Amino acid sequence: MFYTKTILNKYPKEQRYLLAVLQDIQKKYNYLPRGALIMVQEYFDVPLSKLYSMATFYKALSLKPKGKYIIRVCDGTACHIRGSALIIDEIHRLLNILPGDTTEDGNFSLETVNCLGSCALAPVMVINDKYYGNVTPALVRRILKEYGGVNCEHIQEKG
Amino acid sequence: MKVMIDGKKYDAEYGEYILNVARRNAVNIPALCHSDALPGQGNCRMCIVEIVDKGRKSIVASCAYPITGEIEIVTNSERIYRIRKTIVRLLSASAPDNEYINRLRKEYDIPPETRFKVDRDGKCILCGLCVRACDEIGVSAISTVNRGTTKRVSTPFDEPSTVCIGCGACAYICPTGTIEVNEDEGRRVIWNKTFELLKCSECGEYFITREQYEYIKKRYDLADTNELLCDKCKKKGIGDKLTNVLHNVIPVQK
Amino acid sequence: MNIFKRKVKKTVLVCCGTGCLANNSFEIYKGLKKKIEDLAVNVKVRPVVKATGCNGLCEKGPIVTILPDDVFYCGVKVTDVDEIVENTVLNNKVIERLLYFDSAKGKKVRSHKQSEFYRKQLKIALRNIGQIDPGNIDDYIERGGYSALRKVLFKMSPKGVISEVERSGLRGRGGAGFPAGLKWRQCAEMDNFPKYVVCNGDEGDPGAFMDRSIMEGDPHSILEGILIGAYAVGSEKGFIYIRDEYSLAIKNMTKAIEKAAERGFLGQNIMGKGFSFDIEIVRGGGAFVCGESTALMASIEGRVGEPRIKYIHSTEKGLWGQPTVLNNVETWANIPVIINKGAGWFSRIGSKGSRGTKVFSLVGKVRNTGLIEVPMGITLREIIFDIGGGIIGSGKFKAVQTGGPSGGCIPESLLGLGVDFDSLNEVGAMMGSGGMIVMDENTCMVEVARYYLKFLSEESCGKCIPCREGIKRMLEILEDMCTGKGREEDIELLLEISETVKEASLCGLGKTAPNPVITTIKYFRDEYLAHIKDRRCPAGICRELTVYYIDRDVCRGCGLCRKGCPTEAISGEIGSRFTIDTSKCIKCGSCKEICRLNAVKVLGGAAE
């Protein structure tokens, strides 16, 4: 919890910095560890219930650890009408996770985002920070294979 | 100032909520999330009324709309009735085992639900009074969790809260009896936490949890007091303080 | 038409907006910079290479523009760098291959100004974007930046500023279109200090990226606008609330704040005129509802982003109960121009009730996806067909959706509509923050309504009953319809719940949430009936109501589809006709996408 302490020390003890602190912790650990929440509670002297409420309200915050690769599929309107649902289905079929879930081996998390502002590339998928534009179900298979997420024998390459 | 409610003129103070004026004058406006002790929630929207303010028509929540001018209010138009009816139908589909809502459903003549997948998992209508009561007491053991259609009320991590004092104000104020309190042989169980109950030194009845007693002593700096009297037996002292603490939250109506 | 003077200087502008960045434009920028630095020893005047914000024409990115000749290259690759420098930058030779093909004109054009995409636009809020390096404050100052602030501080009273903004007719670009000047006046009249000014950069609408582009591409214009507003209402502290996902916007705004402070445009006693102002960035937590002003303020205060009842205006009681003016990014970016050019100039642009221009993100099934700024009152047809270049591929236009998830779908019969705040409201849609999503005949309107309701069910804060429970049940009905379980009485029930959600919800999110449902029922009732009565999805989108099959007359038996099928649902011998086993088909569309002969067809009817 060393990092949490460092993060806390950057901010004055005013409630308005709560969200920023939680975001920083989220960025550091990819989720909000319970111990960190307790430290935040003590530092700001706010009820734990309020922190828990915030942690479950804001989509940027998560109480569950995320996978090594975070797959974010844009389901903004432009992506949606260009077929993002097919992309999500394909990932679900291949990795057996629904949006919000993480694979059992802790390698992949699947999330949907409302818009990445890259509508010209629709549908868009981002793995960690790498953008993939004009994604198709077939392309999903190839990309996930690159990340070691799909059993190669069952994948037939497209010509 | 004067306001017109359903065609009749009434006196109102500047800044007073419409609902207050209406209730004072026995004009019935239904409300689920309203408590005189914790006014202005505006969550259930059952108390909506039509108003005409400076020629502009709008629909507002009467429990939270402050009167600042001479406005006209209609509490029972056909449109308002229709909207309230839909609200009751929506609520009853999500809280079908809620007796209070069931009564309302009959009142609004709504047939048993056949269209929606009724949820069987709760009676809570998320009015928010319990959370506010807990905040008001200064404990904040519970809060809303999640958002949107998955929102609910709970303790952090859904575990017994470390700060809950078991005072039961949340259950007391709940309009639909959703929060379970079980008392048995000197114990009270609420929000999955078990509390030891203390007896009134006068009548000998269990009436307060140890944590609640300690909390009040600490909050009112009554370290030397050992008096322990229940509401009924209260004379002077901590009994009064106790009602004071809860008074803000729970209207005295025993 | 460009309303601003251009500096004559050999400059290479590389678009580094998000769309182009995703296509490697930063590598192109680095390549160009290095190449020019290597070569420039032999050149008298060294050309400048700049990374700019979004040019708007994201579909054709990455975009490289060479000034002063205004040569406009699109679809540039890293391998084109040497050729661009050697031919165009050093020898003024145009590379034909990289020019933009204007489909409206049917030919290639040399300069962006010659294309239909740009010709009908008028850039005020986007005036500098694509022309300047957002990281360089001098670029902004060279183009007249901070002169409006100077004018205000030296020559105008706060009251004068407010009346200028009022007379301009500027309405808030964030959604509801509340007159900006009136809001400022209300706040200025309060004698309760401190006061706050807030910039809403949360932009949660899917399919919208106007505010992001301004924050990324021209951050100082926003700062200058906020400073002017703060001076007018008497505030010394401001906040910019930016979506956390917008990392580049946060980076550029942060840098702009630092640079402005260094130059004395922020801080104590600005320009020696006794006005002090500071500003802070707050990162959003990922909640669409925080675009609602009171929820946004709750979020800035470090609480859950739930709206509060708004019977008392934020201009009276806003952040921490103090008088607060909140406007969105685009509104603030308009302010410096209004001050410099005057209310009279601004109010002559646009339509009667909606003055000035509006930025739209034009996306979906349209050819020129991107960011555009047009005068209010321009018709939808002009936007979609002249600027947007029409529908992608051979599809036919079906609807355009404006106003974000709680906007409405507008049908073909209304394409002649002049777009402004009031006209959009009249047809049941709304301006919102400016998302404009074009849909073609392959878009199912029932499914679109379902999509928006699903979005709203996740983004509703859940505080008030009509919004939380109403949206939940409307979504339930729409999901039933999309899977062939719709009932005849459902349409009326949807409208009944819509009325309650619209009238009784606490905040703007709920009050507008039923719009997608109401407008799709109003304009596309046939599609609803097809789903309910015939169990058929005419657009071929709803899976339970469609069948994939291979047209035997077209198939030549190449077998590509079989290779691409993830569930081995396709069988056949090479050289003969292939068939799809509907019991195995998961309707993923892989076969349709692979087939070069377009032999895979989707039937909009239920599987037998």
Q: How many CA atoms lie within 13 A of B113 on its CB side?
A: 21
DSSP letter, residue C355: B
Which residue among B145, B147, B156 sits closest to A48, beta carbon to beta carbon? B156
What value does the mean pLDDT take over residues B219-229?
71
* Residues C589, C555 contacting (CB under 8 angstroms): no
* Band of residue C421 on the pLDDT scale cut at 50, 70, 90: very high
For residues C250-276, one letter each, b for 16 or more C-beta atoms within 10 angstroms of the residue's C-beta and e for the rest, the string is bebbeebbebbeeeebbeeebeeeebe
What value does the mean pLDDT take over residues C273-277?
96
What value does the mean pLDDT take over residues C79-96?
90
Side chain identity at residue C428, one-letter code: G
Q: Residue B225: its pLDDT value, please? A: 65
Determine the distance in angstroms separating the CA of C498 from the nearest CA of chain B, rounded to an integer.
Answer: 10
Q: What is the pairing mode between strands B72-74 and B48-53?
A: antiparallel
B interface with C, Cβ–Cβ < 8 A, is: 40, 42-46, 48, 59-61, 64-66, 79, 82-83, 86-87, 90-91, 93-94, 115-117, 125-126, 128, 144, 146-151
Lowest mean pLDDT among B125-139, C116-130, C352-366, C579-593: C579-593
Q: Residue B121: its pLDDT value, please? A: 67
Across the interface, do B146 and A56 touch by the CB < 8 Å criterion?
yes
Is the backbone peptide bond immediately before C405 cis, with ω within 30 degrees of 0?
no
Across the interface, do B83 and C473 touch by the CB < 8 Å criterion?
no
What value does the mean pLDDT take over residues C171-190?
93
* Residue B212 burial class via C-beta count within 10 angstroms: exposed 0-12, middle 13-18, buried 19 and up: buried
Lowest mean pLDDT among A31-40, C375-384, C553-562: C553-562
Higher pLDDT, C1 or C470: C470
* Nearest residue in chain B measured CA to CA from C503: B59
* Residue B204 burial class via C-beta count within 10 angstroms: exposed 0-12, middle 13-18, buried 19 and up: exposed
Torsion of CA A89, A95, A97, A101, to 10 degrees: -130
Positive or negative torsion for Cα C151, C157, C163, C165: positive
State whether residue A51 sits within 8 Å of chain B by CB. yes
State whether residue A52 sits within 8 Å of chain B by CB. yes
Q: Which residues are registered as beta bridge partners of C548? A: C602
Q: Give the integer Cα–Cα distance in Å for C53 and A129.
A: 20
Query: For a pLDDT cut of 70, what percent of chain C falls above it?
Result: 97
Determine the distance in angstroms separating the CA of C501 from the nearest CA of chain A, rounded to an integer.
Answer: 22
Q: In terms of Cα–Cα distance, which of C449, C386, C353 is closest to C119?
A: C386
State whether residue A96 sits within 8 Å of chain C by CB. no
Lowest mean pLDDT among B37-51, B115-129, B225-239, C296-310: B225-239
Task: Give pLDDT tens digits for C485-502.
Answer: 999 999 999 999 999 999
* Residues C568, C584 contacting (CB under 8 angstroms): yes
Across the interface, do C470 and B90 touch by the CB < 8 Å criterion?
yes
Q: Which residues are registered as beta bridge partners of C281? A: C240
* Nearest residue in chain B measured CA to CA from C486: B115
The DSSP string of B152-172 is EEE-GGGS--SS-----HHHH
Residues of chain A with C-beta less than 8 angstroms from the C-beta of C245: 113, 116
Global model pTM greater than 0.75: yes
Q: Give φ, ψ of A140 to 5 degrees.
A: -55, -45
Quickly count: other Cβ atoms within 10 Å of residue C146's Cβ: 21
Q: What tokens were used for B104?
A: 């309302």
* Residues A69, A29 contacting (CB under 8 angstroms): no
**Alpha-carbon A134 to chain mean position:** 20
Q: What is the three-class DSSP state of C212?
A: helix
Q: Residue A153: its pLDDT value, please? A: 45
What's the mean pLDDT when you consider all of chain C? 91
Q: What tokens were used for C422?
A: 């009031």
Q: What is the pairing mode between strands C196-201 and C324-328?
A: parallel
What value does the mean pLDDT take over residues B174-188?
90
What value does the mean pLDDT take over residues C273-286?
95
Q: Residue A154: its pLDDT value, please? A: 47
What value does the mean pLDDT take over residues C451-479?
94
Task: Write down how long chain B is.
Answer: 254
* Band of residue C92 on the pLDDT scale cut at 50, 70, 90: confident
State whether residue A90 sits within 8 Å of chain C by CB. yes
* Band of residue C321 on the pLDDT scale cut at 50, 70, 90: very high
Task: Give pLDDT tens digits for B197-223.
Answer: 998 887 888 888 999 988 888 887 776
Q: Residue C345: its pLDDT value, please? A: 97
* Residues A95, A103 contacting (CB under 8 angstroms): yes
Evaluate if residue B185 carries a pLDDT over 60.
yes
Residues in CB range of B224: below 8 A, 6 or more apart: none
Q: What is the pairing mode between strands B8-11 and A130-132?
A: unpaired
Task: Give pLDDT tens digits for C12-45.
Answer: 999 988 788 888 899 999 999 998 888 765 666 6
Determine the distance in angstroms separating the CA of C305 from the nearest CA of chain A, rounded to an integer.
Answer: 8
Strand runs labelled E in B161-248: 181-184, 187-190, 193-199, 206-209
Q: Residue C423: its pLDDT value, please? A: 94
Evaluate if residue C601 carries a pLDDT over 90.
no
What value does the mean pLDDT take over residues C72-90?
91
Residues of chain B with C-beta less than 8 angstroms from the C-beta of C476: 116-117
Q: Residue C406: its pLDDT value, please? A: 86
- Computed on alpha carbons and rounded to an integer, the radius of gyration of chain B in Å comes to 21
Q: Give the integer Cα–Cα distance in Å for C281 and C264.
A: 18
